[in-house]
Chains A and B, each alone.
Chain A
Amino acid sequence: MDISIRQTQADSSSGGDAAMVMSLTGRFDAHEAPQFRAAVAEAIEEGTIRIAVELTDVEFVDSTALAELVRGMKNCRERGGDLSLVSPSDPVRVILELTKLDAAFSID
């Protein structure tokens, strides 16, 4: 899996907090989860609490990856921010539905 990160301008919708888009590609599974966790932790440590995770080009997420997304979401929300999901691919959207996590995340 590749992670590309771009910092976006803070705007009124983000309440002035720094915001970030993480674009993931490929297969997001237990092998890749540590890399994602580190990227989210680093972002939060630097004060970014609004993270949009773009999943357009992710073919598969396993349970470990889902757990990492939930962890990131909780950590952001505890600080007044959020970790949202953007344009999940069809298989990822179905996996989110089957695990009922579609109700837990903000999905754009």
Chain B
Amino acid sequence: MIDSSLDAYRRWADVPIAEPPHVSVVIPAYNEEWRIVPTIGAIATHMSSLGTPWELIVADDGSTDDTVVLVRELGLANLRLLVAEQNGGKGSAVRRGVLESRGRVVLFADADQSTPIEQFEALAARLDEGFDVVVGSRAVDGADVANKSLSRKIFSSGLSLLVKGVFRLPVSDTQCGFKMFTAEAAELLFRRQLVDEFSFDLEVLYLARKFGLRTAEVPVAWIDAPGSKVDAGKVALEFVRDLALVRWNDLRGRYASENHPKSGRTSHNNDRASLSQTAS
């Protein structure tokens, strides 16, 4: 008999998986008390319905609201909560979550469910075809973008032009918070990642090209979730700065070896994190 997704979810919620997960889903979270629980519910229901062992990792980024308390109190058996003592930037939270992940496939997804989890399979299919990195994209044919504000449209177009002009990356949308990696690609990229802020995606994709990883872009549905913490003006300035920084880091050979080796995963800059697991 085939389980309903509700049955599959309940088993995932109650019983720790016995084998290593096939998939790890990482959600970075900074002051997400208003949005995180529905997102976890949607992701947990859908991923459990796929019938493959999977784990959920919530990588807190030094939240000062009740994000950590809310997530911990869910008591989900296969959810790991990584608590950071200080806010280090989205890039640091994603890196911490990805480097803690155990799945052969690693997805990071934003906490606002702006890219609905139902698109997991579309990205996974490209990974199955042999790609190492698959990027959810709002800027390629077939994407379905809803409620995006004019300022964000202008901002995204500007970033896209910059990225194509300066880095010549084969990706139109570097910033969509829905990206998938093979475990090997995730290790290679996130152990070298140096940018802790918003433009870490750009650095990761730059490194993917540098190391010859196969990268695919998949159109996704995307809904601009209210409550975005993106300050377009501030982020645009950071982005330009980080474009130069990534180039400079590369010229100095800073990506030649791992910057976050396994032995020191919680000791690097801006990453004063403690790890805790939800009670289960």
Q: Which residues of A contact B (CB under 8 A)?
A: 27, 29-31, 59-64, 66, 90-91, 93-95, 97-99
Contacts and interface: CB of A to CB of B under 8 A. Distances in A.
A59 B49 CA distance: 14
B223 A91 contact: no
Interface in B82-138: 113, 116, 118
Contact of A99 (B37, B42, B146): B37
B34 interface: yes
B45 A94 contact: yes
Interface in B10-46: 34-35, 37-38, 40-42, 44-46
9 contacts: A30-B225, A60-B113, A62-B35, A91-B5, A91-B46, A94-B9, A94-B44, A94-B45, A97-B41
B226 interface: yes
Contacts, number: 61
Given A29-B223, A90-B4, A93-B6, A98 B41 contact: yes
Contacts of B226: 29-31, 64
Nearest to B226: A30
Contact of A59 (B116, B146, B147, B227): B116
Interface residues of B, number: 25
A62 B6 contact: no
A61 B49 CA distance: 18
Given A30-B226, A30-B227, A90 B5 contact: yes
B38 A99 contact: yes
Interface string B43-55: 0111001000000
B147 A60 contact: no
Contacts of A94: 6, 9, 41-42, 44-45
Given A31-B146, A59-B42, A63-B34, 4 more contacts: A29-B225, A59-B118, A90-B5, A93-B6
Nearest to A66: B38
A90 B113 contact: no
Interface in B194-246: 223, 225-227
Interface string B72-86: 001000000000000
Given A30-B227, A98-B74, A91 B35 contact: no
Contacts of A95: 37-38, 41-42
9 closest pairs, A vs B, by CB?
A: A95-B41, A91-B45, A30-B226, A94-B41, A90-B5, A94-B45, A90-B6, A98-B41, A95-B38
A63 B6 contact: no
Contacts of A99: 37-38, 41
